[in-house]
Amino acid sequence: MKESKGTKIPPPEEASVKPDCRAEFIFYAQTRTGKARPVKILGDYGCDCRRPDWDHRWKTWDARQDPYLHLFLCREHARKLGLME
């Protein structure tokens, strides 16, 4: 994973979020400091970028303020955030 400290993601209305955007990976807060890979999701979950509180969730997760906050993201949004190559 790339270090994403300071990465700016546009608010949901500017992020061109598709209504059918589905989460493919879980990015655990505890693994941010290590080289651990995201976990592939087997269930059917919406991408967190679709949430109305997305901006707050991203800032909290990126600043490592909540060790229990995990991000559910699709591959496209994870790449835009620099979490995947």
Task: Check residue 74 and give its pLDDT.
Answer: 95
pLDDT for the residue numbered 56: 95
> Would you say 39 and 28 are in contact if contact means Cβ atoms under 8 Å apart?
yes
The residues spanned by each domain of the chain are 12-80
**Angle, alpha carbons 44-74-83 (nearest 5°):** 140
Q: If the chain, 85 residues long, is cut into consecutive pieces of 10 residues, what is the mean pLDDT of each piece?
A: 54 54 89 69 92 94 90 94 87
